Every structure is written in C-alpha cells, then in structure tokens.
Amino acid sequence: MLFDKSRHKPLTESHWDQNVVQSEISSIINDIQHSLSADACWPTHPQDAQSYPRSGPKWSAYAGAAGTIHALQLLDGYGYNVIDLSGALENVYQSFLKNPDVCVEPGLQIGELGILMPAILKKLDDAQLARRVLRCMEDTIALPLYEITSGQSGMMHAALALYRKTGENCWKEVFVKGATSLMDNWLLDTKTGEWLWQSQVFGPKRHYYGACHGVVGNANILLQGADLLPDNYPELIIKRTLITLNIAAKKAGNFTNWPLCTKPKIDKLLVQWCHGAAGIVTAMARTPKIDSCTSNQLDQLLVQTAELVWQAGPLNKGSNICHGTAGNGYAFLYMYRRTGQAVWLERARKFAMHAIEQCQKARAHYGQGRFTLWTGDAGLAIYLVHCLNPQHAAIPGLDLF
C-alpha cells in the first residue's frame, strides 16, 4: 500500500451543491467574527492546543490570529461581507513578541513575517513596516532550514508576492538572496543520486521531500521566481527535482507516493499537503511547461500522484489545508488549472462537500470552530471559494497573498 488506510475516510456520497457551499462559507465567516475576543484573538482549538508547548492565545499565520485576519482579507477580496481586522495586527504582533506561539523567530508560518505580511499588504507604502518585513526576510537567509515554515523558501513566497505587487527592488533583491542560499545548499547525494536539502527545522537534521519542508517546496518557489534568476535555472531545477522524485518514489501500478524523508530514512507514507502526494502535486503543478522530455515526464508523474490522492480519499485529521481534506483537494484544483480536464475539478468539489461535513461535525463535537488559516475553518472557507472559482485557486498564505 502507498498510503495508510487508517488515516483516511470513505468519501461522502453528497453531490456538489453550490448553495450548500456558499452557506458554509457564510457560516464560517459568521463563526469567526462572532468568536473574536477583545484582545484580537480567537479561542485556541483543542486540536491545535495539543501541538504547542504553552497554553493561551496563538498569534502566528499558521494557527493563530494573524492567519485568520489574513483569511478575512482574502475573503473580502472575493466580495464576502467581512470585518476588516487589519488594524488589530499591530496588537497581534506585539502580543506575539511578548508571548510567542513557540518562540520569537522571523519566519513565515510561525514567526514574525507571517504576522507582518497581512499588515503590509494593507499598507504597501508604509516605509517603517517595510523595514520590519525586510529585516525578518534577511534574518531567514543564513538559517540552516531551507523550507517553508521558518526558512528561506517561506520568506521567498512573501518577497515574490510583494515584488509582483509593487515592483520595488528591495523585494526582488531579498528573493534572489534566498534563492542563492537555496541553490548553494542544494547538494548531490553521491550515493543515491538525489539532490537534497538538509533541514534542521524543529531540531533534527532531516532531508525531506514534501511541500512544506522538502525538495518540492523549495523547487516550487525557485521556479515561480525563475524570471529573476539566471536563464538556465528553470530546466536545471526541474531536472534535479525530477531526478530526486524518481529515485525516491514508491510506485504501485499507476499510483505514486513518497516517504517522509531520507537521512534518516523514514518510510512513513502520508498523503497530505505538508508531507506526501498532495503537496507534491500542489508544488510541482505550478512548474512552467517547457518543451522537453523532462517536462513531459513531470506531467506523467503528476497524474500518477494526483490519482493516488483520489484513491486515498479524505483525511481523518479534519477539513484543513495543512494535513486535511482541503489541502488534498487543492491537489485536484491545481491539476485542473494545469490540464483543464474537468475530472480534476469534479474531484476537488467532491472533497469540498466532504470537508464541509467534517467541519460541521467537528464544530458540533468540540462546541466551537477552529479559527485558523492552515489548520482550520478559515483556510477551508478559502478552499470552498476556490472550488466555486477554480481559476483563482491557490493555497492561501503561500501561493496567494
């Protein structure tokens, strides 16, 4: 087996219903807005509380107030009636510095940058805020991380977004510095032939493959900003990544998945955004199409990987993006955007209906919503919007700011 059946559920029998989807988006927005506390945060969900060493409010982009405020910004941009809480971000930032979710760090998902990004998106001409953001970005470059959560590639997503929005050279320059750090530390394993980064995120030294901490997550952002890098980079990056994926792949019939990491070798086969097949698809489906044998091989691999996501089905862990049904559903939306084939959109919408049921059941079970971007209902709401409008599909807080 290429996945652990105990981690997945049978898919709902409910059919796609646009009215149900719109109703759930409104319900999530209402729940978020009515549950806001006076100090600009939300009740920590019991499932998120298990992941953090300290109790109390969470502030980060990943599972805290900043991510929820950013989600509301995005929903406002799609025309939903939401309260603009951007003015609360300074309080969120100061609260984080005094009592951080984990520790005070500069990174995107659990650090300062993820809190400052939704603030600067509302004030692109704020020079003092820009200096704060740039300082956080610079502080990630020398870290031995090479991944999304706290490292260079997460910072580069933010820098590239700001450069595309403003055209200001400071964002381009810090993106290029991050890319240089990634390329300088992307090393060939002479024993296996793989091209790997060694990441020390969360302490242990590991060589991951997936979208959050691994090879494809880094390759993705390098390719998205390839126009800012030397001309030979796109084909080089695609070639190295595909070589590595092919060497490490676990295959059965027309399905493909990857282990968590190598060195140390951890053969756990997950099918999530953060680790495994779903994230491999979302990271690599954005790869520019190049008329080459390598590009054709990538397309074949993406189909086999996305088929495994469908075969595995929705996740037990909930409806969220990072390690839940919405994150896996994004694999189908990205395949739809890459291929135009209706089957992928149909599958994404099927997962949406399942995720709605999961969200409703969890809300009833815990007596509260899960008010977060990456692990909860705020991210689900944006996924549902993207199932209604697949031409806009992009993972929020990473591919979409």
Annotated binding site: 274, 322-323
**Residue 254 CB neighbour total at 10 angstroms:** 11
One DSSP character per residue, 215-229 reads HHHHHHHHHHTGGGS
Q: What distance in Å separates the CA atoms of residue 205 and residue 51, rounded to the nearest whole number?
A: 20
Structure tokens at 381: 């709401």
- Burial class (CB within 10 angstroms; exposed 0-12, middle 13-18, buried 19+) of 400: middle
Q: What distance in Å separates the CA atoms of residue 235 and residue 230, rounded to the nearest whole number?
A: 11
CB 27 within 8 A of CB 363: no
Closest to 71 measured CA to CA, from 57, 61, 58:
61
CB 343 within 8 A of CB 7: no
Phi and psi at residue 204, to the nearest 5° = -65, 145
| 311: Cα separation from own chain's centroid | 22
Annotated binding site for Zn(2+): 274, 322-323
**Residue 219 CB neighbour total at 10 angstroms:** 27
**Residue 79 CB neighbour total at 10 angstroms:** 8
CB 280 within 8 A of CB 209: yes
Q: Which helix (H) or strand (E) holds 251?
A: strand 250-252
